A and B are shown apart, each in its own frame.
Chain A
Amino acid sequence: MRPIAYLDHNATSPLRPAAFDAMAEALRMGGNPSSVHASGRRARATVDKARREVASLCGAASSEVVFTSGGTEANNLALSGAGRRRVLVSAVEHDSVRRAVPHAEVLPVDGDGVLDLAALERALATSAEPALVSVMLANNETGVLQPIREVVRLAQSAGALVHCDAVQGAGKVPVGLRDLGVDYLSLSAHKIGGPTGVGALMVRKSAPLSSALRGGGQESNRRAGTENVAGIAGFGAAAVLAASTPDLAGLRDGLEFSLVQIAPPAAVFGAGAPRLSNTSCISMPGVPAETQVVALDLADVCISAGAACSSGRVKPSSVLEAMGVPATEAACAIRVSLGWNTKAADIECLIAAWKDLYLRVKHSDISRADPQARAA
Chain B
Amino acid sequence: MTAITQIRRNDQPIYLDYQATTPMDPRVLEAMMPYFTHKFGNSGSRSHAYGWEAEEGTEKARAQVAKLIGADEKEVIFTSGATESNNLAIRGVAEFYKDRKNHIITTVTEHKCVLDTCRHLEQQGFEVTYLPVRQDGLLDLDVLRAAITDKTVLVSVMAVNNEIGVIQPLAEIGKICREKKVFFHTDAAQAAGKIPLDVEALNIDLMSISGHKIYGPKGIGALYVRRKPRVRLVPMIVGGGQERGFRSGTLPTPLCVGLGEAAEICMKEMEAEAKRLKKLQERMLNGLRAKLTDIVVNGDLEQRIPGNLNISFAYVEGESLMMGIKNLAVSSGSACTSASLEPSYVLRALGVEEEMAHTSLRIGLGRFTTEHEVDTAVDELVRHVNKLREMSPLWEMAQEGIDIKSIEWAAH
Query: Which residues of A are at the interface with B, using a C-beta cutoff of 8 A?
Result: 4, 6, 8, 11-12, 14-15, 20, 23, 27-28, 30-32, 34-40, 68-73, 75-76, 94-97, 99-100, 188, 190, 195-198, 212-218, 224-231, 290, 293-294, 297, 302-305, 307-312
Stretch of B21-29, B141-149, B150-158, B379-387 contacting A (4+ beta carbons < 8 Å): B21-29
18 of the cross-chain contacts (CB-CB < 8 Å) are: A8-B42, A11-B45, A12-B40, A12-B250, A14-B37, A34-B20, A35-B331, A36-B338, A94-B239, A95-B240, A96-B249, A196-B42, A213-B87, A228-B218, A305-B47, A307-B240, A309-B242, A312-B46
Asked if B335 and A40 sit within 8 Å, CB to CB, the answer is yes
Query: Separation in Å of the B219 CB from the closest CB of chain A?
Result: 3
Chain A residue contacts of B83, Cβ below 8 A: 213, 215-216, 224-226
Chain A proximity of B52: nearest CB distance (Å):
10
B220 interfacial by beta-carbon distance below 8 Å: yes
Please tell me if the beta carbons of B236 and A309 are within 8 angstroms of each other in the complex: no
Query: Are B237 and A73 in touch, CB under 8 angstroms?
Result: yes
A26 nearest in chain B by CB position: B218
A196 touches B20 (CB 8 A): no
Q: Do B120 and A214 touch (CB < 8 A)?
A: yes
User: Is B31's beta carbon under 8 Å from chain A?
Assistant: no
Contact of B241 among A36, A95, A212 (CB under 8 A): A95
User: Most chain-A CB neighbours within 10 Å: which of B7, B12, B80?
Assistant: B80
CA distance A312 to B244 in the complex (A): 12
In the complex, the answer to whether A230 meets B331 with C-beta atoms within 8 Å is: no
Which chain B residues lie closer than 8 Å to A36 at the CB level? 322, 331, 338-339
Which of chain B's residues has its CB closest to A70's CB?
Answer: B249
List the A side residues contacting B299 at CB < 8 Å. Answer: none
Task: Determine whether the beta carbon of B15 is less than 8 Å from that of A39.
Answer: yes
Given A73-B249, A96-B239, A96-B248: A311 touches B17 (CB 8 Å cut-off): no
| Of the residues B20, B47, B82, B86, contact of A302 by C-beta under 8 Å | B47
Q: Please give me the residue from chain A that is nearest to B219 by CB atom.
A: A228
Residues of B within 8 A of A97 (CB): 239
Known: A39-B13, A310-B240. A34 touches B335 (CB 8 A): yes
Q: Which residues of B contact A305 (CB under 8 A)?
A: 47
Residue of A nearest to B215 (CB): A30
> Would you call the interface of chain B mostly helix, strand, loop, or mixed?
loop
| A297 and B48 contacting across the interface, CB-CB below 8 Å | yes
A202 to B410 CA separation, bound complex (whole angstroms)? 51
The complex places the Cα of A76 from the Cα of B334 at a distance, in Å, of: 28
With A11-B45, A214-B120 as given contacts, are A40 and B20 in contact (CB-CB < 8 Å)? yes
Q: Is the CB of A310 within 8 A of B241?
A: yes
Q: How many residues of B contact A (CB 8 A)?
A: 73
CB distance from A319 to the nearest CB of B (A): 14
Q: Could you tell me which residues of chain B, from 175 to 229, have a CB within 8 Å of some CB in chain A?
A: 210, 212, 217-220
Other A-B pairs, 7, CB within 8 Å; known A40-B329, A297-B49: A30-B15, A34-B338, A196-B252, A215-B336, A216-B83, A216-B337, A309-B44
Say whether B397 faces chain A, with CB atoms less than 8 Å apart.
no
- Which chain B residues lie closer than 8 Å to A14 at the CB level? 37, 40
For residue B97, CB closer than 8 A to chain A, the reply is no
Given contacts A35-B335, A72-B249, contact A15 B329 (CB under 8 A): no
Residue B132 interfacial (CB < 8 Å): no
Complex Cα gap A273–B166 (Å): 62
A20: min CB distance to chain B, Å: 6
A230 contact from B15, B20, B45, B217, Cβ within 8 A: B217
Contact B254 A196 (CB under 8 A): yes
Question: Are B239 and A229 interface neighbours, CB within 8 A?
Answer: no
**Residues on B with beta carbons closer than 8 Å to the beta carbon of A190:** 42, 250, 252
The 8 closest A-B pairs by CB, nearest first: A215-B113, A228-B219, A309-B240, A197-B252, A216-B336, A96-B239, A69-B80, A225-B83
By CB atoms of chain A within 10 A, which of B220, B237, B240, B253 has the most?
B237
Q: Does B116 have its Cβ within 8 Å of any Cβ on chain A?
A: yes
Q: How far is the CA of A36 from the CA of B242 in the complex (A)?
A: 36
Closest to B32 in A: A27
Contact A72 B48 (CB under 8 A): no
Could you tell me if A100 and B42 are in contact, using CB atoms closer than 8 angstroms?
A: no
Establish whether residues A197 and B220, one from each chain, have CB atoms under 8 Å apart when the complex forms.
yes
A303 contacts B47, CB within 8 Å? yes
Q: Please determine whether B42 and A226 come into contact, CB atoms closer than 8 angstroms.
A: no
Give bound CA distance, A100 to B236, whole Å: 9
B329, A39: Cβ atoms under 8 Å?
yes
Across the interface, do B20 and A228 meet the contact criterion of CB distance under 8 Å? Answer: no
B50 contacts A by Cβ under 8 Å = yes
Query: In the complex the two chains form, is A15's CB within 8 Å of B239's CB?
Result: no
Distance in angstroms from A153 CB to nearest chain B CB is: 28
Are B252 and A195 in contact (CB-based, < 8 A)? yes
The answer to whether A226 and B218 touch across the interface, beta carbons within 8 angstroms, is yes
Q: Is the CB of A225 within 8 A of B81?
A: yes
Most buried by A among B217, B218, B331, B335: B218
Contact A30 B23 (CB under 8 A): yes
Asked, given contacts A27-B24, A34-B338, A214-B116, whether A39 binds B17 with beta carbons under 8 Å apart, the answer is: yes
Determine the distance from Cα of A75 to Cα of B111 in the docked complex, in whole angstroms: 27
Contacts of B137 in A (CB 8 A): none
What separation, in Å, do the CA atoms of A32 and B22 have in the docked complex? 9
Q: Once the chains are docked, how many angstroms separate the CA of A27 from the CA of B23? A: 8
The reply to whether B13 and A311 contact each other, CB–CB distance below 8 Å, is no
Indicate which residue in A6, A20, A32, A212 contacts B21 across the interface (CB closer than 8 Å).
Answer: A32
Chain A residues near B331 (CB, 8 Å)?
35-37
Q: Is the CB of B21 within 8 A of A302?
A: no
Residues of chain A contacted by B210 (CB below 8 angstroms): 226
B41 CB contact (under 8 Å) in A12, A198, A226, A293: A12
CB distance A309 to B248 under 8 Å?
yes
CB pair A72–B240 under 8 Å, yes or no, is yes
Taking a contact as CB atoms closer than 8 A, the residue among A38, A40, A308 that contacts B42 in the complex is A308
In the bound complex, how far is the Cα of B253 from the Cα of A297, in angstroms?
A: 21
Q: Give chain A nearest CB distance to B128 CB in angstroms.
A: 13
Q: In whole angstroms, how far apart are the Cα atoms of A310 and B20 in the complex? A: 37
CB distance from A225 to the nearest CB of B (A): 4
Hey, which chain B residues are within 8 Å of A96, CB to CB? 237-240, 248-249
- List, in ascending order, chain A residues with CB within 8 A of B51's CB: 11, 308, 311
Alpha-carbon separation in the docked complex, A52 to B310 (Å)? 37
- A290–B48 alpha-carbon span in the complex (Å): 11
Q: Given contacts A36-B339, A99-B239, A311-B46, is CB(A225)–CB(B80) below 8 Å?
A: yes
In whole angstroms, what is the CA distance A99 to B119 when docked?
26
Residues of A within 8 A of B84 (CB): 69, 213, 225
- The verdict on B314 contacting chain A, using a C-beta distance below 8 Å, is no
